[in-house]
Homo-oligomer: A and B are copies of this chain.
């Protein structure tokens, strides 16, 4: 198979490191390790893009684990989050719960096209600096943030608005 799921050479290592980290957390908590949970973690780290719980389960099953159950994925999620393997994202008005791989990735935020659903990640040190400043002003200790810009991408705009001739409707 041509490089379908192959990402970058460093990625496979990262997956392993993520698994180690998860196992470490599991050990710290005095829990047991489990092949299924590892498979879930692996699927989560390797997942390209944003996913929902069902997507993750599907991915796990694709990876060979046949009996995996949705409840099990749900039960694994808190651990994955705590281990920093995944993080929650808030796409599209919070109607659904999305996650994405978060291991050894820099924090980033999202630009979401409301027409085609395209998600673009962006990172801006300037934003972060301003956030820190703002938090300080309110005597807050920041732990995280959510920053999502909703709009319409250029492609969709050109597709939808070729009849843009300043007629009636505005804004």
Q: Is A134 an interface residue (CB 8 A)?
A: yes
Tell me if A143 counts as interface (CB < 8 A to partner B): yes
Task: Write out the residue numbers on chain B whose beta carbons fall within 8 Å of the beta carbon of A127.
Answer: 127, 130
**Smallest CB–CB gap between A119 and chain B, Å?**
11
Which residues from chain B contact A111 at a C-beta distance below 8 Å? Answer: 134-135, 138, 140
Which residue of B142, B144, B145, B149 contacts A142 across the interface (Cβ within 8 Å)? B149
Q: Which of B95, B114, B131, B152 contacts A149 (CB 8 A)?
A: B131
Q: Are A145 and B147 in contact (CB under 8 A)?
A: yes
Nearest neighbor of A89 in chain B, beta-carbon distance: B94
Nearest to A113 among chain B residues (CB) is: B140
B153 A139 Cβ-Cβ under 8 A: yes
Known: A114-B143, A140-B113. A149 touches B135 (CB 8 A): yes
Whether A122 sits at the interface, judged by CB under 8 Å, is yes
CA distance A142 to B126 in the complex (A): 19
Within 110-168 of A, Cβ neighbours of B (below 8 Å) are at: 111, 113-114, 120, 122, 124, 126-127, 130-131, 134-135, 138-154, 157
